[in-house]
Amino acid sequence: MLWALHADAGPALVRGQQLDGNGEVRFDEGSTPSIEKVLDPTGRAPLAGGWFDFPGYTRVERPGCYGYQIDTGAGSSTVIFQAV
């Protein structure tokens, strides 16, 4: 998963959940992956066009319909996706 954040957006917090069941969404690596992904460009130089990139992983427990909630200082957005 490659997250992209524009410099104007400031830091962002990403959380997720399964919408058609009780499966968890976790982020990145390790034996206990995080329940949230923090996209914080502080101290980094932006790429061309003022964008920052944040590579990582999204982990889901089972196939189904999932949603991300992405919170920034400007508000919240949702992204719905299906894991097969």
What pLDDT, in 10s, does the model give residues 56-70? 999 999 999 999 999
Where residue 74 falls among pLDDT bands split at 50, 70, 90? confident
84 vs 23: CA distance, rounded Å: 13
Task: Answer for the pair 41, 56: CB distance below 8 angstroms, yes or no.
Answer: no
C-alpha distances (whole Å) from 24 to each of 3, 34, 55, 61 are 19, 11, 20, 6
Domain encompassing residue 38: 2-83
Gyration radius of the chain's alpha carbons: 14
Contact 17, 67 (CB under 8 A): yes
- Looking at residue 13, its pLDDT comes to 98
Report strand pairing: 12-18 vs 58-60.
unpaired
Structural domains counted in the chain: 1
